[in-house]
Chains A and B, each alone.
Chain A
Amino acid sequence: MPIQYYIALSATLFCIGVVGVLTRRNAIIIFMCIELMLNAVNLMLVAFSKMQPLVASASGNAAANNALQTGIDGQIFVFFIMVVAAAEVSVGLAIIVMMYRNTHSVDVNFLNRLKN
Chain B
Amino acid sequence: MNLAYLVPLFPLLGFLINGLLRKSLTKSLIGIIGSGAILASFIVSIMLFLQVKANGAMPIYPLFTFIDTGTFHIDFAFQIDQLSSIFLLIITGVGFLIHVYSTSYMHEEETKHFGRYFAYLNLFVFSMLLLVLGANYLIMFMGWEGVGLCSYLLIGFWFKVDSYNAAAKKAFVMNRIGDLGFLLAVFWLLQKLGTVNYADVFANYKNLSQADITGITLLLFLGAAGKSAQIPLYTWLPDAMAGPTPVSALIHAATMVTAGIYMIARSNILYTLAPVTENVVAIIGLATAILGASIALKQNDIKKVLAYSTVSQLGYMFLGLGVGAYTGAVFHVMTHAFFKACLFLGAGSVIHAMAGEQDMRRMGGLKKWMPITNITFLLSCLAIAGVPPLSGFFSKDEILAAAELRSPILYYIGVVGALMTAFYMFRLYAATFLGNFRGTHEQEHHLHESPSAMTIPLIVLAILAVIGGFIGIPEVFAKNAHWLEHFLAPVFAQSKALQPERLGDTTHELVMIGTVTILVIVMIVWAWGKYSKYEPTTEPESGLGKVLENKWYIDEAYNNVIVKPVNSLGNLLKNVVEKSGIDGVVNGVGRFVQYSARQLRLLQSGQVGNYILFMVLSIVVLFLIFWNQGIIVSFIQKVF
Mark A residues whose CB is within 8 Å of B: 18, 21-22, 108-109, 111-116
Contacts and interface: CB of A to CB of B under 8 A. Distances in A.
A108 B616 contact: no
Contacts of B607: 109, 111-112, 114-115
B608 interface: yes
Main secondary structure of the interface of B (DSSP, over half): helix
A115 B611 CA distance: 12
A115 B613 contact: no
A115 B616 contact: no
A114 B608 CA distance: 8
B605 A21 contact: no
Given A111-B607, A115-B605, 12 more contacts: A21-B612, A22-B609, A22-B613, A22-B616, A108-B608, A109-B607, A109-B609, A111-B608, A112-B608, A114-B607, A114-B608, A115-B606
B606 A22 contact: no
Contact of A116 (B606, B612, B616): B606
23 contacts: A18-B616, A21-B612, A22-B609, A22-B612, A22-B613, A22-B616, A108-B608, A108-B609, A109-B607, A109-B609, A111-B607, A111-B608, A112-B606, A112-B607, A112-B608, A113-B606, A114-B606, A114-B607, A114-B608, A115-B605, A115-B606, A115-B607, A116-B606
B13 to A, nearest CB: 70
Interface in B526-556: none
A91 to B, nearest CB: 18
Interface string B355-388: 0000000000000000000000000000000000
A70 to B, nearest CB: 24
Contacts of B608: 108, 111-112, 114
A92 to B, nearest CB: 15
A8 to B, nearest CB: 17
Contacts of A114: 606-608
Interface in B234-282: none
Interface residues of B, number: 8
A113 B605 CA distance: 10
Nearest to B613: A22
Contacts of B613: 22
B618 to A, nearest CB: 13
A21 B613 CA distance: 9
B464 to A, nearest CB: 91
Interface string B587-627: 00000000000000000011111001100100000000000
A100 B144 CA distance: 89
Contacts of B606: 112-116
A105 to B, nearest CB: 16
A113 B612 CA distance: 16
A112 B604 CA distance: 11
Contacts of A18: 616
A21 B606 CA distance: 17
Contacts of A115: 605-607
Nearest to B609: A22
A75 B210 CA distance: 97
Contacts of B616: 18, 22
Nearest to A19: B616
Contacts of A112: 606-608
A107 to B, nearest CB: 11
A5 B2 CA distance: 104
B609 to A, nearest CB: 6
Q: Which 10 A-B pairs have the closest CB atoms?
A: A115-B606, A114-B606, A111-B608, A112-B607, A22-B613, A112-B606, A18-B616, A22-B612, A22-B609, A22-B616
Nearest to A24: B609
B621 to A, nearest CB: 14
A53 B223 CA distance: 97
A109 B606 CA distance: 10
Nearest to B617: A22
A112 B605 CA distance: 8
Contacts of B612: 21-22
A116 B607 CA distance: 10
Nearest to A114: B606
A47 to B, nearest CB: 20
